[in-house]
Amino acid sequence: MNVIFFLVMRVICFNKCFMLIWMYLICAWSNDEDPNAPFFYKGYYHLFYQYNPFSAVWGLIRWGHAVSRDLINWEHLPGAALYPDEWYDINGAWSGSATKMQEGGAPVILYTGSTNVFVQVTNMAVPKDPSDPLLREWKKVPENPIMMPEGIINSSSFRDPTTAWLGSDDIWRVLVGNKRDKQKRGMALLYKSKDFKKWVKAKHPLHSAKHFGMWECPDFYPVSLHGNDDLDASVEGPFLKHVLKNSLDDSKVDYYTVGKYFPKLERYVPDNGSVEGPNGLRYDYGKFYASKTFYDDNKGRRILWGWINESDSVADDITKGWASVQGIPRIVRLDSSSRSSLIQWPVSEVEALRGTSVTKHNVVLKRGSVMKIDGLNSGAAQVDVEVEFKLDNKVEDHVYETVEDMDVFTNAQKLCSRGKNVEGTAQGFGLMVLASDDLRERSVVSFRFFKQKSDDRIRKVALCVDQSRSSLDTDMDKTSYGGFVNLSPHQKSLSLRVLVDHSIIESFAEGGKTCITSRSYPMLAVNENAHLFVFNNGDSNVIIRRLTAWHMKEARQQYSSIL
């Protein structure tokens, strides 16, 4: 797929760029999308990204390249790792993945090329000098293209190869995203190779599903049933499940299923009850797309990257000179309590940016109360907040909002969009971030409780992000987002972590069981004028069992030259 970059910089006063917490954003020429081919090699983390150096809009895409010792402080290498300069990629070097063919060995990149006749093919690139820990230069192999859409395969929707895995039969396998137009069927095509150069398509896709269109940026990897052991892509055995993630080109959401991989049958089967498509499980229920995981063999963990796009206009992006960022890298693993969904959590390295902090314990938030969290240096434009709320009663005895419409009741985003009055009063309880002192601007992250009118035994809890009052600027996407949170009926507390970086809000409920990323473009709540509030607009008291908010320092960034 096309791609835009990553970075550790993100704020947004339209004509300026600001250093953000953990990623560097180039203040001109940049247009950054999908994270590509992350891996760890000789002491460095590597991240590639789709990049147009000439404009903040889509164009002739190449691969940018950044390296880091710690996933937080990055150096952006000069030049481009992959230029569109051959017949098989002359119209764009698009998304792909990296594979290490042996433990500790140099990675191999598989990527999508758009040919001189706009056919999408899969190509390979290898390091020119594997002894260079920064892998500054890459060369394309003479065998390119190594995979081509043949027969009835849609040649304009054949892209984004995954990380390959080695089977117990010593055969390499890789997936390529595709679609079949008549059924709007998304497909994860399976290819096999003995030598990693000559690839043959399997007789059938690893998996497919009707009605949802093109499967971009597929990802396929094992997860441990124990929930705390992260696994390399080639691991097999009875103690694991597999995850298949697809990015839906039609709806621009990433969804995933958890299921069983049958190597001999060359099939993946989602668990019973798994829902395909945008109404299924999602990494993130906000602005989060074209995601990519990799196995970090440095620390034995699987790390997830996701692309966060803009909520302002294309004209604003051109004025700013850049568009889009990457989210904070997250650890992803199977939820050991359910074994049917994933949990995600920011990598621990981000905590090195924590500075001064404010802590509250056992504070009663009465119904209708709002409390400002004072004491953060330089305001709350860059802040990491962890809070645990204790309910007066068990979850099953809490006061729930009544919902009549069944269609709305099954859709968390629609539920979270209901019930706001003309003043934009936030519902439920939670945090107001990037808020002006007078609360005319605020982004609201809250827990809300819903029940069906026809049968009040059917209940749901949602994490909601209300953007309706996020900016006085009316020319903004202020979509509200929502995702359901699975809780025990007897549970009496809920936890929330929110990372704020000027324009980015990343929210993690219940240890990362539900995640929402959103963009906010305040005009008043900027830098030292951005504030943090905690509130309760529910129908019963809530106790802040503990709340800690850290001011976040800026990461060190180095940028060598224009790509």
pLDDT at 459 over 80: yes
**Residue 372: its pLDDT value, please?**
97
Closest CA to 159 of 220, 80, 247: 247
With a pLDDT cut of 90, the percent of the chain lying above it is 74
**For 42-51, 229-238, 387-396, 419-428, which range has the lowest pLDDT when averaged over its residues?**
419-428
What is the CATH T-level fold of the domain 354-558, as seen in this structure? Answer: Jelly Rolls (2.60.120)
Closest CA to 557 of 42, 2, 70: 70
Q: For 513-532, what is each residue's pLDDT tens digit?
A: 999 999 999 999 999 999 99
Find the helix or strand (DSSP H, E) in which 414 lies. helix 412-417
**Quick one: pLDDT band at residue 22, thresholds 50, 70, 90?**
very low
Residues of the chain with CATH 2.115.10.20: 32-346
Among the listed residues 32, 34, 160, 254, the single catalytic one is 32
Which segments of 367-492 are extended strands (E)? 369-372, 382-391, 401-403, 428-435, 443-452, 459-466, 481-484
Strands 382-391 and 200-201: unpaired
Closest CA to 558 of 222, 206, 74, 14: 74
**Quick one: pLDDT band at residue 90, thresholds 50, 70, 90?**
very high
**Residue 7: its pLDDT value, please?**
34
**Residue 280: its pLDDT value, please?**
94
Please answer whether residues 307 and 314 qualify as being in contact, where contact means their C-beta atoms are separated by less than 8 angstroms.
no
**Quick one: pLDDT band at residue 134, thresholds 50, 70, 90?**
very high
Name beta bridge partners: 138. Answer: 127
The full length of the chain comes to 563
**Residue 55: its pLDDT value, please?**
66
Q: For 485-510, what is each residue's pLDDT tens digit?
A: 999 999 999 999 999 999 999 999 99
**Quick one: pLDDT band at residue 481, thresholds 50, 70, 90?**
very high
pTM, two decimals, is: 0.93
pLDDT at 149 over 50: yes
Closest CA to 468 of 311, 292, 252: 311
Find the helix or strand (DSSP H, E) in which 188 lies. strand 185-193
Q: For 338-350, what is each residue's pLDDT tens digit?
A: 899 999 999 999 9
- Burial of 523 from C-beta contacts in 10 A (0-12 / 13-18 / 19+): middle
- Burial of 183 from C-beta contacts in 10 A (0-12 / 13-18 / 19+): middle
**Residue 560: its pLDDT value, please?**
65
Residues of the chain with CATH 2.60.120.560: 354-558
Closest CA to 8 of 31, 33, 26, 30: 26
With a pLDDT cut of 70, the percent of the chain lying above it is 91
153-172 mean pLDDT: 97
Specify whether 70 is catalytic.
no
Q: For 165-218, what is each residue's pLDDT tens digit?
A: 999 999 999 999 999 988 899 999 999 999 999 999 999 999 999 999 999 999
**Residue recorded with tokens 């568009």:** 323
Q: Which amino acid is at 153?
A: I
Q: In the CATH scheme, what architecture does the domain 32-346 have?
A: 5 Propeller (2.115)
pLDDT top residue among 370 and 14: 370
**Residue 562: its pLDDT value, please?**
40
The residues near 131 (Cβ < 8 Å, ≥ 6 apart) are none
As separate numbers, helices (DSSP H) first and strands (DSSP E) second, the chain gives 3, 37
79-84 mean pLDDT: 93
- Burial of 28 from C-beta contacts in 10 A (0-12 / 13-18 / 19+): exposed
**Residue 9: its pLDDT value, please?**
34
Please answer whether residues 257 and 185 qualify as being in contact, where contact means their C-beta atoms are separated by less than 8 angstroms.
no
**Quick one: pLDDT band at residue 456, thresholds 50, 70, 90?**
confident
**For 42-51, 315-324, 495-504, which range has the lowest pLDDT when averaged over its residues?**
315-324
Per-residue b or e along 462-488, where b marks 16 or more CB atoms closer than 10 Å to that residue's CB: bbbbbbebbbeeeebebbbbbbbbbbe
Please answer whether residues 42 and 86 qualify as being in contact, where contact means their C-beta atoms are separated by less than 8 angstroms.
no
**Quick one: pLDDT band at residue 31, thresholds 50, 70, 90?**
low
